[in-house]
Amino acid sequence: MTERPGPVIPDTQLPTVTIIIVNHNGRKFLPVCLGSLKELDYPAEKLEVIMVDNASTDDSVPYVQTEFPRVKVLTLDKNYGFCKPNNEGAGAAAGQFLVFLNNDSEVSRDWLRELVRPALADKDIVSCACKMLYFDRRNTINTAGGKITIVGGGFYRGYGDSDGALYSNPGYTGFGSGAGVLVSKDFFLEAGGFDEDYFAACEEQDLGWRAWLYGYKVAYAPAAVMYHMESGTFGSRSNADPFKVYLNTRNRLYNMLKNLDVWNLIRSKLISACFNFYRFCAYLVNGNFRSAGAVCRAYYDFALNLGKMLPKRRAVQKKRRRSDAELYKLGVIATFKESLAEERRLSRLAGKQFFSAGKQL
């Protein structure tokens, strides 16, 4: 179910947009992703597509150069994950707005027109999240915006639910999924882009968090519909993957340190320590020793990188325009009760085969 779009925005009022796609050996996803972008109802002269390639060893680059010659290709010397390649793409972008789009996705024809709509209506909106449905289960929500959690991460609103009226109302949201989110280029550069020390994971919450902290807004645009495989390039939807465990645990710790006020930082660190100790024990009991080790490695690397992160905290806090109390009131940060309820729901959902194993094209 999709919200009925508003009046068609005249082409003359549409902003220039650069869509940035990070790719690493994703040749099998590119025909669908780039093919859907080719069919977008958006003026060609106002649309730029950049693929940033993380040193693919398949034929991704020559394929795009041959089949989609309008796509600009930036090639990197190794796999830098998600954050640095997107920053490189942003640095080369000509658009007033940037869209970060995963290669394992397909967009609807009016997706981009609807995605820019909230930002055109309110200059304080610097980021817009779309309605993201599953590629292989198109009535199921992947994300309809999200809420930031006190432990530095976030949860996707509607994850795993059937699409319906609840997810068809526009409004504000904590952050947009990095798999398909629009961001003002000016704000992105002001915020310093994605934090490249993250490599990947939790950078989307960090960016949305900074938008709200700096006095801006993030909107949810339900009429902007796209379809996402989720972890198509990662290989599994399971959050027990050791590399995912490491990145998510470490980067949540980074997020807390950078973005919370002192009191909430202390509280969140205590809650996070209990949560991560519980996960560590659960991994051990289930014989998942690599994931248990990943939790320990995340804490070790967090401590090792404190010297890097403390100046970043000072920079973020210097630009703060909203208190944590305001962000709770606005519903940007989830309450402890909300977070606990969502964690229990996700635990039940994880037992379903569709959400525990990756799907392939």
In-domain check, residue 340: yes
Same domain, 202 and 71: yes
Query: In this predicted model, what pLDDT tens digit does every residue of 289-339 receive, in sequence order?
Result: 999 999 999 999 999 999 999 999 999 999 999 999 999 999 999 999 999
Same domain, 197 and 319: no
Give the three-state DSSP class for 114.
helix
Same domain, 288 and 144: no
Residues 6 or more apart whose Cβ sits within 8 Å of residue 290 = 242
In-domain check, residue 178: yes
Strand 125-134 relative to strand 217-228, pairing? parallel
In-domain check, residue 68: yes
In-domain check, residue 123: yes
Average pLDDT over residues 168-177: 97
- CATH of residue 209's domain is 3.90.550.10
Same domain, 49 and 190: yes
Distance CA 215, CA 212 (A): 5
Residue in this structure with the two tokens 């989720």, named with its chain if needed? 230
Same domain, 203 and 152: yes
Average pLDDT over residues 353-361: 52
Residue after which a domain boundary falls, among 206, 228, 250:
228
Q: Which residues of 26-60 are buried (b: 16+ CB within 10 A; e: fewer)?
A: bbebbebbbebbeebebeeebbbbbbbbbebeeeb
Number of structural domains the chain divides into: 2
Give the CA dihedral 89, 92, 94, 96, nearest 10 degrees: 50
Same domain, 201 and 319: no
pLDDT of residue 5: 66
Residue after which a domain boundary falls, among 174, 204, 228:
228
Same domain, 119 and 248: no
The answer on pLDDT for 219 being more than 50 is yes
Distance CA 221, CA 227 (A): 14
pLDDT of residue 347: 85
Same domain, 254 and 188: no
Query: In this predicted model, what pLDDT tens digit does every residue of 82-105 receive, in sequence order?
Result: 999 999 999 999 999 999 999 999
Nearest Cα neighbor of 105 from 203, 3, 30 is: 30
For the chain, the average pLDDT equals: 94
Per-residue pLDDT band for 107 (boundaries 50, 70, 90) equals: very high
Nearest Cα neighbor of 17 from 231, 185, 256 is: 185
Q: Residue 339: give the domain boundaries.
A: 242-356
